[in-house]
Amino acid sequence: MDSTNRTAAELGREIAAGRIDPVALAESCLEAIRSQDEDGRIYARLTGERALEEAKAAARRAREGRLAGPLDGVPVSWKDLFDTAGTATESGTPLLAGRIPDKDAEVLRRAGIAGTVCLGKTHQTELAFSGLGINPNTATPPNKGMPGHAPGGSSSGAAASLAHGLAPIAIGSDTGGSVRIPACWNSLVGLKTTHGVLPNDGVVPLCPGFDTVGPLARTVEDAALMFAALGGGEADLAAAPSPADLRLAVVETVALENCDAVQSGAFERSLARIEAAGARVERITAGELPEAFDLGAILFPYEAWRSWGALIAEHPGVLYPPVELRFRSGEPITRAAYDQAWQALGQLRRNFFDRFSRYDAFVMPTVAIQPPRVDELLADDERFMAVNLLGLRNTRIANLLGSCALNLPTATYAAGLQVMARPGEDVRLLQIGAALEAAAKA
């Protein structure tokens, strides 16, 4: 059974209609993974027995007319930081080698209740603390459209599992861009949810104040269905607005600076098509953003070091050096500085959304740069760190503002349109994304 280019929603509808057997679908996916990912660069490990048992249960429900939801029987790949009972969950690092949880992460449990089938665990950057997707300690997944170039991270294997046709949908995490960057660089849809909308119970942490769970998908419809399966609420895309009903703000401050010609060109062309579809587009300057980035330079490293500093200090030199250096940058930051930074960021968030309350959403290039070459980054640690920060820059705007955001593919490979909405407006964001999806990629 060839499900390589089928969306999760299409597969779910075919299962419901009795035209696809969930067991045959799961077997097909597992066989494709074994034959096409022979070097194990996309999947860290498979959960084959579990997948077949879950597929058999879905097949029984389908025969009895009691499917648990629109994705019942649909296979899903999971980033290697979601606890999976009885299966190693190592967050991409030898520091956690052999870590086997005894129960599923809460979002994985919820997805199981919704009937999805767990295929296995995908590779990621170490402890999710890099946006490039490069991990010389475990694996760097391939970028299908640009071989030899970075896949984007930290949910690198998640994106590769979709791009290579080895899963219909994938679950990743996003602390500073880790869903949206790989989605952008693999021309996929990627949803960064509002912090706290989906639970992080059983998710290996990085920065607890920023960590979020979100799907990578082929379409906004798939992302919406998976968001609901994870417990985030149903987004009625039939009620999506017309582009003509939307007032959008182009964030010029920071987000449009130093973008390469490919990214800026793709963004402006998509924006022109969205305007032609009727959307009202205005350009804004946001003086809050430079200060927010200064605060982020305190908050992200502080939380990351408090999560993993003790283990890193006990095992120096195990992490890839640029990643370890980034962790260690949080060591000297004091709790007082951290508390003050959070207080200031909270005020900046309120100021931003109060000042721009007239807009339905905010748009910008998802990433400022095209995927860099892996070999060039591995050869130069300083370049790795500089490129990593630039790659994360635009996506971090949403994390710093506490909002939800969506990557929409454009007509240019590895160039995305980022749509950002207010905190807690995840369902509305998905509806806006559905309204803009076709124009953005036309």
Residues identified as active-site: 79, 154, 178
- How far from the centroid of its chain's Cα atoms is residue 434's Cα? 18
| 8-state DSSP, 371 | P
Strands (E), 328-376: 361-365
Distances 397 to 198, 262, 287, 357 between C-alpha atoms, Å:
20, 21, 12, 17
Please state, in angstroms and rounded to a whole number, the distance separating the CA atoms of residues 75 and 166: 9
**Closest by Cα among 408, 411, 6 to 188:** 408
CB 360 within 8 A of CB 248: yes
- In 10 A of CB 108, how many CB atoms? 22
Host H or E run for residue 426: helix 426-441
CB 190 within 8 A of CB 405: no
Please state, in angstroms and rounded to a whole number, the distance separating the CA atoms of residues 232 and 225: 10
Burial of 97 (0-12, 13-18, 19+ CB in 10 A): exposed
b/e per residue 275-310 (b: at least 16 CB within 10 A): eebebeeeeeebebbeebeebbebbbbbbbbbbbbe
Please state, in angstroms and rounded to a whole number, the distance separating the CA atoms of residues 238 and 260: 36
Please state, in angstroms and rounded to a whole number, the distance separating the CA atoms of residues 268 and 286: 19
Please state, in angstroms and rounded to a whole number, the distance separating the CA atoms of residues 402 and 105: 23
Q: Helices (DSSP H) in 65-179: which residue ranges? A: 106-113, 156-163
Please state, in angstroms and rounded to a whole number, the distance separating the CA atoms of residues 246 and 312: 47
- In 10 A of CB 194, how many CB atoms? 21
Tell me which amino acid residue 135 is. N
**Residue 202 structure tokens:** 């059983």
- In 10 A of CB 13, how many CB atoms? 14
- In 10 A of CB 389, how many CB atoms? 15
Q: CA dihedral defined by 87, 93, 96, 97, rounded to 10 degrees?
A: 60
